[in-house]
Amino acid sequence: MNRTRMNRTFGFSALIALALVVPSAAFAHAHLVKAVPAVGGTVSASPTELKLSFSEGVEPRFSGVELQAANGRAVETGAASLDPADHATLVVPVKAQLQPGSYKVSWHVVSVDTHKTQGSFTIAVKP
């Protein structure tokens, strides 16, 4: 009888430990982990696309990326789509030829677990 009680206590403790670990993964948010061009980076030529990689999969229908010149004007881009090889990476075509200068990339994503995150960073094009 004492052994049965010990087994139940161990089983209950293991269940509690599992319950504490699983939600941390389930409630994670998509955070930007890599960008091409790089966050704060400088490129020598106008990029044809922006690639933003996140810590988990994102829903492209509810996510977006905007590109602004230093003067605040919007730069024309295409619709964001998922990289077919990586559902945590958004690919955004840059339709305009970027002139030398600084640009702000603003993003918002909804992860596959429905959490929304947003952020921004700058890139520069060399003269």
DSSP assignment of 57-88, as one string?
Answer: -B-GGG-EEEEEETTSPEEPB---EEETTEEE
> Per-residue pLDDT for 38 more than 90?
yes
Better pLDDT: 7 or 29 = 29
Write phi, then psi, for 38 (nearest 5 degrees): -65, 150
Q: How many CA atoms lie within 13 A of 51 on its CB side?
A: 14
Flag whether the pTM goes above 0.85.
Answer: no
Q: Is residue 83 part of a domain?
A: yes
Q: Is residue 77 part of a domain?
A: yes
Domain of 79 in residue numbering reads as: 32-125
Q: What is the pLDDT of residue 23?
A: 46
pLDDT in tens, 63-88: 999 999 999 999 999 999 999 999 99
Residues 6+ away with beta carbon under 8 Å from 79: 92
Report the C-alpha gap between 125 and 127 in whole angstroms. Answer: 7
Q: Is residue 2 part of a domain?
A: no
> Per-residue pLDDT for 50 more than 50?
yes
CATH of the domain at 86: 2.60.40.1220
Q: What is the pLDDT of residue 25?
A: 46
Q: Is residue 16 part of a domain?
A: no
- Residue 14's pLDDT band (cuts 50, 70, 90): very low
Comparing C-alpha atoms, which of 56, 55, 50, 57 is closest to residue 36? 50
Residue identified by tokens 């030398």 is 100
Structural domains in the chain (count): 1
Q: What is the pLDDT of residue 122?
A: 99
- Residue 45's pLDDT band (cuts 50, 70, 90): very high
Q: Is residue 43 part of a domain?
A: yes
Q: Mean pLDDT for the chain?
A: 87
Q: Is residue 19 part of a domain?
A: no
Q: Is residue 4 part of a domain?
A: no
Q: Is residue 7 part of a domain?
A: no
Quick one: average pLDDT of 19-30? 56
User: E-strand spans in the chain?
Assistant: 32-36, 42-43, 49-54, 64-69, 74-75, 81-83, 86-93, 101-110, 116-125
How, if at all, do strands 42-43 and 81-83 pair?
A: unpaired
